[in-house]
Amino acid sequence: MNRREFLTLSSITAAFTAATGAQEKTSGKAGKVDDDTAVSYITETEKKIRLVGDYDVCVLGGSCTGVFAAVRAAQSGARVALVEKQNAFGGVATSGLVNVWHSLQDTEGKQTIIGGLTKEIIDRLQNIGAATGKSHYILNTEELKIELDKLVMEHHVTPFLHTFYAAACMEGSRVKAVFIENKDGRQAIRAKVFVDATGDGDLARDAGIPFNIRDGLQPPTTCAKISSLPKGFAGLVAKYRNEFGLVEDRGWGGPIPGAPNGMQMCAYTHVFNTVASDARQLTAAEIEGRRQIRATMDIARKYGGDENKPFLGSLASYIGIRETRSFKANYVLTEKDVLYGKRFPDAIANGSYHVDVHDPVKGGFIFKNLNGTTVTVAPGGTTNGRWREATTENPTFYQIPFSTMVNGRVDNVIMAGRMISTDRGAFGGIRVMVNLNQVGEAAGVAAALSVSENKTVSNIDIQNLRGQLSKLGAVII
């Protein structure tokens, strides 16, 4: 197969555009189509939507961030609904196959800075042999799915799986209800406070919280579980990538606890130039991501020797999305805040994972550490350097303030997950799961407090929030 035979990302996008254009015109026969410009519209007939629930707190998106938000809200006395579009909870960790949780300690390994539900889930998984590690944890994320189900049910959260958040019903500066779609059609859920844990911030966007999509987004990756890989697989991919239509890049792979035949979690490629919150680009990226997995396996088949023929155990249910919309909250966390370990009176999370930015064009990644060093992992190799002069007074962890999760314009929406308000560098650090898990827990407690204190989410009592989180087992510093 040569390069010309591959579907390019742009050709897939173009095919999609043509297809959806045709579909709109077809369905237009049954309704009013406004077709006088290049873009066509159809007016949806007004109809009554069934209300399927009235809750204190409704969490949209059921990654660990969303599940932890829902559980903490329930433990704080709220009646909670949790809406997830996939068939399982866990987001990128489960449906995306990403199975690494980083350290719960500061950078020197001396102080525990993360506890709460992250620690509880690690303990539960370790009890059944489904997690390994002490300061860097590797999870069997299929088992994580089951553990998250249990957590949700134990805390009497009402789950809605296979359910997509579709739109918001606004009343002034409040979200009154959300419209959801599932096998029963379009329905509505009413709640006093909403937590947006959709990653992309779908509700935050509809509620009118301003956002931007940065230039040079970190590219997405389709992950796979592959067994019987030849030794030096990464090197083979690097050497033969051109022959199989893969551009210059660097990725990684790692073990899965207890998996047979050396099965690995593989994240060796990227789909560059993708805005994954754009439906057309997301479709194209899914197809391209899977093609890339096949290409890496073809390399292993051709050049990996006869004794080891790779076996594709599973493909991620969806492409792993690193970065899309970044929202503007009451505070924007900066790279400087992270790298210099700034302390905040409204801190709700602590992190020690370095700033890690995947190169949007060339592949590879750059790490900036809190001790002033940098590591650049590029297609050609790894180099070490410094981003600032050496000093003896290095911070050993950084903090995430609650003010990065709420915007005073909208009274009852809390953002939790990778959409919170950061610059590009800060995002590179806070985006990992052990950090966002804490953001989820804080969102849940804050949502319950907003209900019980009868205050907007920007005006809740922060000391109450920090105190309640601490009582529930979070490490609050």
Ligand X SMILES: Cc1cc2nc3c(=O)[nH]c(=O)nc-3n(C[C@H](O)[C@H](O)[C@H](O)COP(=O)(O)OP(=O)(O)OC[C@H]3O[C@@H](n4cnc5c(N)ncnc54)[C@H](O)[C@@H]3O)c2cc1C
**Residues near ligand X (CB under 6 A):** 60-63, 65-66, 83-86, 91-92, 96, 98, 100-102, 164-165, 197-200, 202, 220-221, 223, 267, 320-322, 417-418, 431-433, 436
Please identify, using beta-carbon distances, which residue of 16 and 164 lies nearer to ligand X.
Answer: 164
Question: Reduced to 3 states, what is the DSSP secondary structure of residue 134?
Answer: coil
Q: What are phi and psi of 7, to 5 degrees?
A: -70, 125
DSSP 228: S
Of 217 and 304, nearer to ligand X (C-beta) is: 217
Residues present in the chain in total? 477
Which stretch of DSSP H or E encloses residue 34? Answer: strand 33-34
Minimal distance in Å, beta carbon 124 to ligand X? 18
Q: 417: phi > 0 → left, psi -120 to 50 → alpha, else beta; which?
A: left
Write down the least CB distance from residue 471 to ligand X, Å. 24
Nearer to ligand X, 220 or 425 (CB): 220
Rg (CA), the chain: 23
CB of 253 to ligand X, least distance (A): 11
62, 434 Cβ separation under 8 angstroms: no
Task: Specify the residue, 201 or 304, whose C-beta has the smaller distance to ligand X.
Answer: 201
Question: What is the closest distance, in whole angstroms, from the C-beta atom of residue 469 to ligand X in the complex?
Answer: 18
For ligand X, give the closer residue by CB, 176 or 309: 176
Give the nearest distance from C-beta 219 to ligand X in angstroms.
9
Q: Which is nearer to ligand X, 58 or 74 (CB)?
A: 58
Q: For the purposes of burial, counting CB atoms within 10 Å of the CB of 126, is it exposed (0-12), middle (13-18) or buried (19 or more)?
A: middle
Residues 345-354, buried b or exposed e (16+ Cβ, 10 A)? ebbbbbbbbb
Q: To the nearest whole angstrom, how small is the minimum distance from the Cβ of residue 254 to ligand X?
A: 8
Shortest gap between Cβ of 357 and ligand X (angstroms)?
12
CA-closest candidate to residue 254, choices 264, 245, 263: 264
Assess contact for 414 and 346: CB atoms under 8 A: no
Burial bucket for residue 384 (CB in 10 Å: 0-12, 13-18, 19+): exposed
Q: Contact, 368 vs 355, CB < 8 A?
A: yes
The residue among 224 and 475 lying less far from ligand X, judged by its C-beta, is 224
